[in-house]
Amino acid sequence: MNELSLKSVVLSSDKPICLAILAMGGQGGGVLADWIVEVAEQQGWHAQSTSVPGVAQRTGATIYYIELLGGHHGATPTLSLMPTQGDLDIVMAAELMEAGRSMLRGLVTPDRTVLITSTHRSLAVSEKIVPADGEGDPELVATAAGIAARRLIAFDMQRMAEAVGSVISASMFGALAGSGALPFPREAFEAAIRGGGKGIEPSLKAFSLGYEAAGLRQVAGPIRKPISKQFAPTPITTGHASLDAIVGRITTGFPQALQPMLLVGARRLVDYQDPAYAQQYLDRVAAFVARDPLPGHAIGQAAAKYIAVALAYDDVIRVADLKTRSKRFARVRQEMGAADQQLLQMTEFMHPRGEEVIGLLPVHLARIIQARPALFRFVDRVVNHPRRVRTGTIAWFLALYAVSALRPMRRGTLRHAEEMAHIAKWLKCADNVIDTNPRLAAEILATRRLVKGYSDTHARGAAKFDRVLSAVPLLEPRPDGADWLRRLREAALADEQGKTLEGALRTIATLDHL
């Protein structure tokens, strides 16, 4: 381009409408951006879209940035490629915590931004890897959004889309149209969907629902963290003598305050092993309830919950059992939105170690292998590598089903013997202090929450558990020993590496000198 032509270029000074979409993989953020661009161009506007990918799926959303400019009258539009803090008219988040992140990034401002967000949750990896409850607080996000945004439109767009067999991008598109934040008629939005050529009817239905909900100009109900666990009512009869015996023992032999938790624990252990295993659980809990001096049956409550958790440890048999259950296949189909006539294939990523395989063997045989390091290394070398297991195939399903069928032999395995020994040591630790420091005994029982998961996750949790309980002899004589043990447990849950716990243990070691 020569100097004369450069001088003849007239740049538009009009301010474009700036819009950002925050969406994770599989939520149709790219499709939504394309629809918005299509609508604008059909209405004679200039439109430009770019995207900045997140680090990885569920660790950071992709940001789709769009600028729309109308009324240019021959002037060349001036559009940017990246969103700027304080410069966005519309922010759309395909998940509630992404709306929170958009506010933290300064993309939402109270004098300008219309914030449109779905209120459902899709937990990020950063929330899942925390040993404790790492889930973000939706109430904080909702409160902040009411202050940070000029206008907030929030409802469960995911559930709305799933109800009509569509995806969240369609209901978000409807919410955008219904908000009135863009000066285009409803028909233009619907025409963009029809021009896509795929899933038109479900998308139009989801669009219509989102349009109507956003037109109310309201936040749909209070946004709170859902209560995922509720106690089922006590059954009058189960129809099985062994199960009725368990229910009868709970309702007549334990305080009423403990019965709901005991029923949950017994139900879990019957499902895990058998009714006799649940009776053994009740035996262990009863021993603590009989000596519980604390108000509210605090020791009994901790025993009822955490002894059940400990007895239902995750082993190879349990994992295989859960992965071959019909209700799991049904749940995955529902989550993926698969229709009845559609085929769905699942691939499990498994990485067994030699310890897990040897743990399946009878105790005497497993001890022989453990006593021979060369033989142990050979077994580990054979099995210790990652596998992609397609549970929808006959061969892999039958293989896992065969492993799950080993449940009647679980009590004779090395893994069960090791778990029972570990549990006995833990319960003895609590039993030893119940008379001298009952609050500490309750905290010892609650410390079992550190042990969870499978394979490496279980090993790390068990190591932290042992480290925390190593402080009990120092804490037993102290009237505030229970408080210190609770702090140790919280420190162990604070990070996966255990650095916070090590610092807390060093503090405990100096208590006598303070």
Asked if pLDDT for residue 432 goes beyond 60, the answer is: yes
pLDDT at 105 over 90: no
Q: Tell me: the pLDDT tens digits for 163-215?
A: 898 889 999 999 999 999 999 999 999 999 998 767 789 999 999 999 999 87
Q: What is the pLDDT of residue 27?
A: 75
Q: What is the pLDDT of residues 122-177, one digit of tens each?
A: 765 555 555 655 566 667 777 788 888 899 999 999 989 988 988 899 999 999 99
Can you tell me the distance from the alpha carbon of 504 to that of 482, in angstroms, rounded to the nearest whole number?
A: 14
At 494 the pLDDT is: 80
| H or E element, residue 65 | strand 62-69
Query: How confident is the model at residue 129, as a pLDDT?
Result: 56
Predicted confidence at residue 6, as pLDDT, reads: 46
Predicted pLDDT at 136: 61
Confidence band of 514 (pLDDT split at 50, 70, 90): very low
β-sheet bridge partners, residue 11:
76
Q: Which two tokens stand for residue 362?
A: 């009878």
Distance between CA 316 and CA 414 in Å, rounded? 12
pLDDT at 333: 84
Strand runs (DSSP E) across 266-324, as ranges? none
HEC secondary structure over 386-433: CEEEECCCHHHHHHHHHHHCCHHHHHHEHHHHHHHHHHHHHHHHHHHH
Residue 420 has pLDDT above 60, yes or no: yes
Higher local confidence (pLDDT), 450 or 511:
450
Residue that is written with structure tokens 């029923």 in the block: 263
Kindly report, residue by residue over 16-54, the tens digit of the pLDDT: 899 999 987 767 788 999 999 999 999 989 888 888 776
Average pLDDT of the chain to the nearest whole number: 86
**DSSP secondary structure of 485-512:** HHHHHHHHHH-SS-HHHHHHHHHHHTGG
User: Poorest-confidence range of 40-44, 463-467, 500-504?
Assistant: 500-504
Q: What is the pLDDT of residue 239?
A: 83
Express each pLDDT in 247-279 by its tens digit: 999 999 999 999 999 999 999 999 999 999 999
Give the pLDDT score at 125: 56
**Which sign, positive or negative, has the C-alpha torsion 366, 368, 373, 378?**
negative
**pLDDT score at 57:** 44
Confidence of residue 499 (pLDDT cuts 50, 70, 90): confident
| CA proximity to 415, closest of 353, 475, 496 | 353
Long-range own/partner contacts, residues 185-188 (CB < 8 A, 24 or more apart):
186/211, 188/39, 188/42, 188/43
pLDDT tens, residue by residue, 361-394: 999 999 999 999 999 999 999 988 888 988 889 9
* SS3 assignment, position 281: helix
- Residue 350 near residue 323, CB atoms below 8 Å: no
Provide the pLDDT for residue 140: 77
- Give the residue among 441, 440, 442, 460 at the shortest CA–CA distance from 451: 460
pLDDT, residue 100, reads: 87
B/e letters for 247-281, b = 16+ CB within 10 Å, e = fewer, are bebbeeebeeebbbbbbbbbbbbbebbebebbbeb
Name the residue with higher pLDDT: 447 or 225.
Answer: 447
Identify the pLDDT of residue 9. Answer: 52
Distance CA 118, CA 171 (A): 9
pLDDT of residue 28: 78
Write down the residue that tokens 């447990």 correspond to.
489
